[in-house]
Chain A
Amino acid sequence: MTPKQEYSLSDLMSEVNLVIRSSFDKSYWVVAEIANVSTSPVGHMYFELVEKSGAQIIAKARANLWSSKKRQIISAFEDLTQESIKRGMSVLLQLTVEFHAVYGISFQIHDIDPAYSLGELQRQKQETIKRLKSEGLLDFNKQYVLNPVIQNIAVISSETAAGYQDFMNQLGNNEFHYQFNTTIYPAVMQGESASTSIIKAIESIDNSNIFYDALVIIRGGGSNLDLACFDDYELNARLSQSIYPVFSGIGHERDLSVTDMVAHTRLKTPTAVADFIIFNNLKFEERIKNLFNRVSDLSKDAIAEGMYSIENHSRSISERSKRKVNGERNNLRNCSFRINKSSLELISRNRLFLRHQKSELTHSASNIKTTNNYIITNTLNKLTESIKEQNRKKQKETEAINTRLHTVSYLIQQQKNQLNFLHNSIKLSDPGLILKRGFSISRINGKAIKDASMLKENDILETQLYRGSVKSKIINKK
């Protein structure tokens, strides 16, 4: 029995190392699932890689990504996939085998192929879509008919997200002054816990006492990484079956998320969601306004038509009334004229009759008078004649008597005349009688003056008149 050759552990490890190094002297592209990943304080990343067969792990290894390479590899990966490297992810890694006397076998990561992971994510996404479709959930939420006015809104977002603030500002400052009641249901909007958190929020909304017009799911402003949650089957299956129509505004850069696809209405940004809601309400208001305008226009038309018809009636009534009144007025005028005319005729006829009567009366009277006159004249004549006759007889008798009387009388007169002559002769010789006839006797010194030569101036005469006597002085003598 030869004595046992002894190696130190490190010698053996060195041998193993040697073998491993010589056997695995190149790098290998290995597909694995990340079971765990952590970052050290100095920036190294430690991976736990596994391969599963069903639920069973059939291979498991550690891998390290040194900080010196990490930056370049990770950023290339994230740029393409829009996802951070995380647990559960399938990756294609370029590895070299390392052996360490203390830590044993491990792998050093030299590269991670983003195309592989991206393809894998896409494949998963397509599977999710296919499954949702087959279960009738892809278009399930689109069946909802939106309320005419969207006012009560449940919002799933992160309270601190800029997208949420954008949404609230856009709603609050709308130019039409629409009022909205929004309720925020805060949720983690990216990363691993997002799906669970959002599903919880959906449950709260569906079970709320408040009735909402829409469920709005928005994010924005944060990192664009790790939005694969919106392609998650569980999340989208639940979301599509919300009792409210879903508006999405999660702002994917590249392509549609499954959430966008199941949403009732998908929009690019939270601001766009707010605009959509405002526009929806505006459409309603416009419709109301249009209806009102139509009612108004129709009413105005109807009123105008009525007015026109009434105006016509009014004009026709007015004209007919005037015509009727004028007709009646003419009728009255005619009556008045006829009464006047007939009355005057009647009066005039009666007057004529009276005149006729009068003239007849006058005529008759005149006849009677003439007749009577004749009779009277005749009678008078006869009377006169008889009287004349009587007179003539009497006259003759008287004349005879007179003749005789005249003779006697003549004789008497003769005697009388003779007597008168005698008497007058007697009377003419009486001076008293002469004085009585206006003669006077002037005396001077008692002697009757018979010649003017007996007298001279300033002699006083005494004149005897029929009655009395006067004395007078001679003034002049011729």
Chain B
Amino acid sequence: MSKKRLTYDNALNELQNIVAEIEGEEISIDELSKKVKRAAELLKFCQNKLRQTEEDVNEILSQFDEKL
């Protein structure tokens, strides 16, 4: 895992790779739980990012509405 800051795109990319790996059965049972755990982390990150983004957008827009 690279040390650089995780972005939504990176996370999603990684997540999709994991999905492909798991679906492609390239993965061993030994790795599976590790991969799924990582996938869960990435999912959580992405969901949080989405929720945060949604809230930010709503707040920004509501501020804008007030100004209007």
Contact = CB atoms under 8 A, between A and B. Distances in A.
Interface of A: 307, 310-311, 314, 317-318, 321-322, 325, 328-329, 331-332, 335-336, 338-339, 342-343, 346-347, 350
Nearest to A353: B29
B57 A347 contact: no
A342 B43 contact: no
Interface string B27-68: 101001000100100010011001001100110010011001
Contact of A343 (B12, B32, B47): B32
B47 A329 contact: yes
Given A328-B46, A335-B43, A339-B22, A347 B53 contact: no
Given A321-B54, A346-B27, A347-B29, A314 B65 contact: yes
Nearest to B65: A314
Nearest to B27: A346
Given A314-B61, A339-B39, A329 B29 contact: no
18 contacts: A307-B68, A311-B68, A321-B54, A321-B57, A322-B54, A325-B50, A325-B57, A328-B12, A331-B12, A332-B46, A332-B47, A335-B12, A335-B19, A336-B39, A336-B43, A339-B18, A346-B22, A346-B29
A335 B61 contact: no
Contacts, number: 67
A314 B67 CA distance: 12
B66 to A, nearest CB: 12
B50 A346 contact: no
Interface of B: 8, 12, 15-16, 18-19, 22-23, 25, 27, 29, 32, 36, 39, 43, 46-47, 50, 53-54, 57-58, 61, 64-65, 68
Q: Is the interface of A mostly helix, strand, loop or mixed?
A: helix
Contacts of A335: 12, 15-16, 18-19, 39, 43
Contacts of A311: 68
A128 B54 CA distance: 91
A92 to B, nearest CB: 89
B22 A350 contact: no
A338 B32 contact: no
Contacts of A336: 39, 43
Contacts of A346: 22, 25, 27, 29, 32
B23 A338 contact: yes
A32 B61 CA distance: 100
A277 B68 CA distance: 45
Contacts of B58: 318
A319 to B, nearest CB: 10
A335 B39 CA distance: 9
Nearest to B23: A342
Contacts of B54: 321-322, 325
A332 B50 contact: yes
Contacts of A338: 19, 22-23
A338 B58 CA distance: 30
Contact of B68 (A310, A325, A347): A310
Contacts of B43: 332, 335-336
A228 to B, nearest CB: 74
